[in-house]
Structure 1
């Protein structure tokens, strides 16, 4: 199967990405949080300058779709007024930090993340998708979230800096934690080959310094589920995409004072009224849509040859495992293996069992009812 070209970078606010429906402008909220005023204004911007479609990414960021090139500068000006812009493109690129979304005011996660923000300029120039994860709850939550340097605690609550791809980390203290992050980032940049753009890839061929292989990591992982948590209610966004009117409806109904973005394409409604069942959002942890990843597909994506989201809703609940529907072989929505992967090619779908979108398919050229028949026969 012909492999589509994967971009080596993600869009930002300063450097948007061209797609089939216009520019994609990504906004990176500090500490993964938007105030009620900020998110309502973002909805207004989506209506005025974009297509009305808002996306929530696996990096806990938000994207506006369909922005006209002629409106980009004006949009940046308003985002800056809302305190949603970094000083420049280089600063924005460095602030690729995910924080576990159930942090509390004043806790260690927020303290460390704040210090990281202040010292990002000390990092070397790193590959575009290189990122950090601050995961300092009692149990790690971000183990399956893409990151290259992880801030965690071991089973005895010792602070660790963990290079992704290693089962070990370096013990540290709060006072020198960020120094250790800068050290391992500089080691990565100084020793990697040009093709090794992620820490995991680099460690496949390069041993870590001894000091970084002393303490075993905590192997537990407990991603936050849809439902109530002490900070509020987690509500899922089907496929990570919604219309600004639906988001405004959710904000009005919940009266949330602010929202936090998660890396699982959901949001935390903070200090809010509990929301019941709503077919525009996911409010039950057993919803079959949670087992499906589907990219925007055609016509939003220039690489896609098929529509994806309508098929995803049709197939919800008709498979027992995970399902990934990709408009092309890039697999942007889920760059990992799934139980079933359907990949668009020349207007039809290829089927891959237990693999990723770029793997060799077991069945090809599936369309319409043949997809359901094939899934039923597996």
Structure 2
């Protein structure tokens, strides 16, 4: 049983986390949604107080780096004024995922945009829920682009028109709720989780003392439980390129190289004045587009590829040397070298287990595929064995002291016995609990 004897160190806006390049503030974007006006204001905050860049996370949130302690009140005030922090007390618990086409997907069974908004309001209206971990994750799967995952604490899965099944950590609770009652159902389950975790300090449903299955059974209370896996078949690739909406308009998905929006990127997005969604693959989707060809051209010109065969697709990295004192290498430079040195439409060959790779020479055994190939090999490059920000399904490239990388295949929870780098104040660890990388 996992016992947490501390609160998680996941940053927010009010509670920023230290790093080598300054403080990190994470701005929650329920459903990954942000409009052009708010993105412009966020970019202004990043330029005035931080590095100027805006980083995307695997939970479809954004981060500002390089902040100073003295500037945090001004940063928080600016983020709140932009409408991106409706509750200071609930800053870190607004972790809600949804499809980037929520409310627009032609295959959706539920209008997920309105459900996400309702859940966000309900969370912020419940004072007790400030006790949730900053990593407690809620998914709203509308039946279109798959979102639900056994790694999520609560998932609403659309099973019929305007009807959700309630899952916890991949287990069906047997509860079926209309979309209008979905937010209330989420709050009830969150309260039940806090009561069940007792003194264990669990951050996630899967860490509960009696286990996630027992928690789901208790929530069922006599209801029939299918208990089928939450993970649905994944789409062949992330939402990149021109995408069809349920109305006459389109959406356009773009890759953000290494998940970092520069001021140039942001200026292009703001100029397009489109409704925007951040994706869990650290990309962006512009929604309600009337001229997709012109939108693609503008994004490509700004360095945001809209090609599903882009070499940047599926390559991510942690902050690396200079930003984190644990890092053993400039992983972002090495990841970029890897991306730009690989063919755009090569045949997938898979990953050798625990292979040692020299990023300066490349590795002929590791070839990434066109993203339409389900055998594609995503890579996440990290400076130490804490493996921060690892996406699901990615081969982990762990920096070694000798300048090479250890390749840990996707699905392998074991990390190589390598030095984790010098101690860092960014993530204190519990002697009784492993570091949480979800």
Q: Would you say same fold, with TM above 0.5? A: yes
1:299 and 1:130 map into 2 onto residues whose CA distance is 29
Residue 293 to residue 180, structure 1, CA distance change in 2 (3 Å): same
Matched, 1:113 2:119: no
Aligned counterpart for 1:319 among listed residues 367, 372, 382: 367
Cα gap change, 1:38/1:140 in structure 2, threshold over 3 Å: closer, same or farther? closer
Query: What are the residue-to-residue correspondences of 1:123-138 with 2, within 5 Å?
Result: 124=129, 125-136=131-142, 138=143
Secondary structure of the equivalent of 1:342? strand
Bigger mean CA deviation after superposition, 138-147 or 287-296 = 138-147
What is the aligned length?
354
In structure 2, the residue matched to 1:180 is 185
Q: CA deviation at 1:356?
A: 7.1
- In the aligned structure 2, how far is the partner of 1:14 from the partner of 1:153? 34
Q: In the alignment, which of 260, 268, 284 is matched to residue 285 of structure 2?
A: 268
* Aligned-partner Cα distance in 1 for 2:412–2:330: 16
2:37–2:270 contact (8 Å) kept in structure 1: no
* Distance of aligned partners of 1:278 and 1:363 in 2 relative to their CA distance in 1, 3 Å threshold: farther
Q: 5+ unaligned residues in a row in structure 1: which ranges?
A: 1-5, 365-378
Deviation at 1:310?
Answer: 1.5
Equivalent of 2:307 in 271, 284, 287: 284
Q: Distance in 2 between matches of 1:268 and 1:169?
A: 33
Q: Does the 8 Å CA contact 1:164/1:200 hold for their aligned counterparts?
A: yes
Cα distance, 1:235 vs structure 2: 0.9
Residue among 398, 404, 419 paired with 1:343: 398
Q: Which moved more, 1:40-49 or 1:186-195?
A: 186-195
CA separation in 2, counterparts of 1:360 and 1:27? 30
1:26 CA drift (Å): 1.6
CA distance in 2, matches of 1:268, 1:131: 21
CA distance in 1, matches of 2:40, 2:51: 16
- Give me the whole-angstrom Cα distance separating, in 2, the residues matched to 1:29 and 1:362: 36
Would the aligned equivalents of 1:151 and 1:159 in 2 still touch at CA under 8 Å? yes
**Normalization by structure 1: what TM-score?**
0.82
Partners of 2:121 and 2:193 lie apart in 1 by: 21
Return the offset for 1:362: 9.1
Which deviates the most, 126-135 or 190-199?
190-199
Calculate the TM-score normalised by the size of structure 2.
0.72
Residue 22 of structure 1: how far off its partner (Å): 1.0
User: 1:363 Cα shift?
Assistant: 9.7
Partner SS for 1:302? coil
Residues 1:95 and 2:128 are matched in the alignment: no
**Structure 1 contact 256–271 (Cα < 8 Å) conserved:** no
Aligned mates of 2:37, 2:144 — CA distance in 1: 32
Say if 1:224 and 1:346 are closer, same or farther in 2 by CA, change over 3 A.
closer
The unaligned stretches of length 5 or more in structure 2 are: 1-5, 105-109, 343-365, 369-376, 420-438
Give, in whole Å, the separation in 1 of the partners of 2:283 and 2:63: 14
- CA deviations 1:48-95 (Å, max 9, x no partner) are 21111210111111111112222221222222222222232x221222
Shift of 1:114: 2.3
Match of 1:329 among 385, 397, 415: 385
Q: For the Cα contact (< 8 Å) 1:329–1:358, is it kept in 2?
A: no
Counterpart of 1:374 in structure 2 is none
Residue number in structure 1 paired with 2:257: 238
* Structure 2 match to 1:214: 225
CA contact (8 A) 1:140 1:220 kept: no
How has the CA–CA distance of structure 1 residues 59 and 293 changed in structure 2, closer, same or farther, with 3 Å as cutoff?
same
